[in-house]
Amino acid sequence: MTPHRPPRSRLAARARAALLLAGLALAGCNRQPHFVSAAADSTLHVTGDSLTERVRVLQERWGEPGRGEEAARLTAALLLGDLRARQGADDGGSWAGRARTLLDSLDVGAEASDAGCALAVNFFSRGDPAAGSWPWVFWCVGGSIQAQAVEGQGMNLIGLASRGLAPVSGAGAPALPGIAALFARRSGGGPQPLLLVWRAGPRLELAQTLGPDSLGGVGSGSFATEGDSGATLATRTWRPTARFDECSTCPHVFHERRFRWGLDGFERTEDRLAPSPYVAFVQLIQALTAADRDAALLCVTRPALVEAARRAGLATVRGPWRAAPGSTDRGDELIFFRGSAEAWKVTFARRGDTWLVDAFEPTTRVIE
């Protein structure tokens, strides 16, 4: 029987990995690489002769169903060895860039994001991305680098922030060491941002979790650094709107929130509605159905429109509203359907930073 041989691409990947790992074994002032233990998040010394064998084993694990967690642990061990072997030689380099170089050579899929003296890597199988993902965090502590598996399995990695891990210039005491990672969790309406914050010491300890209730549901988010104020988180998210039927690609009422990383974790400092024509109409309908004339007046260009809307029956609940298929929130006109028969053409006018309802009239409902 002819023996099975791996494809040329796999042999080439193993060869590149072996060369890379052989190089890292000699790097960093003759320091020997450390690897994450198979039994825990501590490290073990591993001889250079075992590197090629470890590459072979982890690549096999990535190809076996149900072995993703083990494959991620083995891969994290090799990455930790690379980071430690190069520590001090190129501290100004990008940890995320180094991680991608190594993982590409191993033919391992990953999302990577770094911040000051911290790196998050979300491992997954390139052969089966739908099988899940396994996040690990690497960070500086006590002159060395540690690694630990963290929560967030099966989600996408969006970004990373850190504080107090690298030397801080200027006056004042450094911030308490910490790492924050932003993930996206899949939901029926779209991705939901999830924030995880850890205290960073010899191990990571989960200190804070902010999910849909705090961040606002479906949408996106990102970290930023604003001068001496430290890291901030900005999110743009939406939730289902009462009396409106909204698909994932429909216009939405977006909330824009900002959070500042303080001593007690991320605290919300701003929460505003993103102005749009769709928001103006939603607010008008909600004010009309609540019989709140003052609120309705804030949604229109002239007071007479409020009474006209009442006479037209817009204040009466007759079924959910929804934007016509293909509607976008980038113009001054939208078509809305109500129930199974009604259709309304609504036009808008911009006033400064906001939008107001300027006119509305019944229109022919196009068969979908």
Instruction: Tell me how far CA of residue 38 lies from CA of 41, 60, 332, in angstroms.
Output: 8, 16, 60
Helix (H) or strand (E) segment spanning residue 348: strand 342-351
> Helices 68-86 and 8-30 meet at what angle, rounded to 10?
40
- pLDDT tens by residue, 78-104: 999 999 988 866 555 689 999 999 999
Categorize the per-residue pLDDT at 189 as very low, low, confident or very high, splitting at 50, 70 and 90.
confident
What confidence score (pLDDT) does residue 19 get?
Answer: 42
Q: Average pLDDT, stretch 215-224?
A: 95
- pLDDT tens by residue, 232-260: 999 999 999 999 999 888 999 999 999 99
Categorize the per-residue pLDDT at 274 as very low, low, confident or very high, splitting at 50, 70 and 90.
very high
- Judged on CB neighbours under 10 Å (0-12, 13-18, 19+), 340 is exposed
Label each residue of 111-127 as H, E or C: EEEEECCEEEEEEECCC
Q: What's this model's pTM, rounded to 2 decimal places?
A: 0.83
Q: Average pLDDT, stretch 331-342?
A: 92
Q: What mean pLDDT, rounded, does the chain reach?
A: 85
What confidence score (pLDDT) does residue 4 get?
Answer: 39
- pLDDT tens by residue, 97-138: 999 999 999 999 999 999 989 999 999 999 898 899 999 999
Counting every residue written for the chain, the total comes to 368
What confidence score (pLDDT) does residue 241 get?
Answer: 94
